Amino acid sequence: MGRGDLVVAVVGATGAVGREMLKTLEQRDFPAKTVRALASARSAGTTVPFKDGELTVEELTEDSFKGIHLALFSAGGATSKKFAPHAVKAGCVVVDNSSAWRMDPAVPLVVPEVNPQDVDWHKGIIANPNCSTIQMVVVLKPLHDAAKIKRVIVSTYQAVSGTGQKAITELETQVRQLFNMQEPEAKVYPYRIAFNCLPQIDVFSTGDYTFEEIKMIKETAKIMGDDEIRVTATTVRVPVFYGHSESVNVETERKLTAAQTRAILVQSPGITVLDNPSEKIYPMPIQAAGEDDVFVGRIREDTTIENGLNLWIVADNIRKGAALNAVQIAELLIERGRLTA
């Protein structure tokens, strides 16, 4: 059998990311003979769109992976922890979108534009990084190669779709309630998100950093393959449906001018530079929504330190921040001969 004989499963196919995974497989003409949709028992029997028709959702069980070569997981950490080992035992390669395996030293954490070689040492599971980390490291990698990054300070402005469909619905509902002079109900987030910003993503942990902030700190070092890069993060949820934005301050060992930085990034894979302040050209979430690339602009030197840069980075968190990166990992596995039927 060849690459066109691959059987692929999307686990969590009814969720926002799962649906985007199916859409991405279709749009990129991924060489699968069969694509199957798996989800919880309550979703079994429903349908999800794929190509010119629909897929009937099957119940996810421990025995679901017989005959499946690749499984793209996006069903939460608990589901991944329970079912990914069964998939691997059945001979299936798992690309997991949850946080369950990201910091496991035996599991590669991969962004194809940054560390493609890491797929070569997988033992059945490859982790898809956090959405906010992915878009940042795509931009940081070529700068690190050129001038060695010493320190990163990042503040994020993250869309509600990062929390899932319930959060999207909550923002829509709260906007309607406010315009109708009603008190908005907050169920998904601790406070209302409509016309507000919440400086908390995930729960608080050591040193009053949230888990989202800790993910960005730890994942960046693992993906970049450099524990000496110091990262600090503040992650904020904002009332935007799709597209995470990040203000990133970078300190490098060697000097990079703004012009040199633009020239490097223009030539780097997966990046679109939108940076012309005189014409009010800079990246915004509405431009990134539905797009594959990571967008970067507001490129300027930080004059408070010797070798500093300020960057504004935007990407579709559901697309590049989740579904697309997972499919790109799958494509990389085929390209490097690590996935065959």
Q: What are phi and psi of 264, to 5 degrees?
A: -65, -45
Interacting residues of 159 by C-beta distance below 8 A, sequence separation 6+: 238, 240, 241, 242, 243, 244, 285, 317
Rounded to an integer, what distance in angstroms lies between the CA atom of residue 31 and that of residue 167? 33
Q: Is 61 strand, coil or helix?
A: coil
Q: What are phi and psi of 47, to 5 degrees?
A: -125, 155
* Identity of the residue numbered 64: S
The tokens describing 220, both together, are 């960046």
Mean pLDDT for the stretch of residues 147-162 = 98
Q: Angle, to 10 degrees, between the axis of helix 131-147 and the axis of helix 258-266? A: 110
Percentage of the chain lying above the pLDDT 70 cut: 99
Beta strands in 165-213 (DSSP E): none
Confidence of residue 334 (pLDDT cuts 50, 70, 90): very high
Rounded to an integer, what distance in angstroms lies between the CA atom of residue 122 and that of residue 137? 21
What pLDDT score was predicted for residue 340?
77
Residue 301, number of CB atoms within 10 A of its CB: 16
Active site residues: 131, 244
Q: Using one digit for the tens of pLDDT, what is the confidence trace for 294-325?
A: 999 999 999 999 999 999 999 999 999 999 99
Q: Using one digit for the tens of pLDDT, what is the confidence trace for 205-232?
A: 999 999 999 999 999 999 999 999 999 9
pLDDT of residue 169 exceeding 80: yes
Model pTM score = 0.95
Mean pLDDT for the stretch of residues 143-163 = 98
* Identity of the residue numbered 65: F
What pLDDT score was predicted for residue 318?
96
Are the CB atoms for 333 and 119 separated by under 8 Å? Answer: yes
Q: Using one digit for the tens of pLDDT, what is the confidence trace for 99-125?
A: 999 999 999 999 999 999 999 999 999
Pick 339 or 152 by higher pLDDT. Answer: 152
Torsion of CA 232, 238, 241, 246, to 10 degrees: -30
Our measurement of the distance from residue 134's CA atom to the centroid of its chain's CA atoms, rounded to an integer in Å, reads 5
What pLDDT score was predicted for residue 5?
87
Mean pLDDT for the stretch of residues 122-139 = 97
The tokens describing 264, both together, are 């490097």
Considering the chain, what is the average pLDDT of its residues?
A: 96
Interacting residues of 26 by C-beta distance below 8 A, sequence separation 6+: 50, 51
Q: Using one digit for the tens of pLDDT, what is the confidence trace for 236-284?
A: 999 999 999 999 999 999 999 999 999 999 999 999 999 999 999 999 9
What pLDDT score was predicted for residue 247?
98
What pLDDT score was predicted for residue 265?
98
pLDDT of residue 1 exceeding 70: no
- List, as one string, the DSSP characters of 192-218: --TT--BS-SS-B-GGG-BHHHHHHHH
pLDDT of residue 2 exceeding 80: no
Confidence of residue 3 (pLDDT cuts 50, 70, 90): low
Are the CB atoms for 269 and 137 separated by under 8 Å? Answer: no
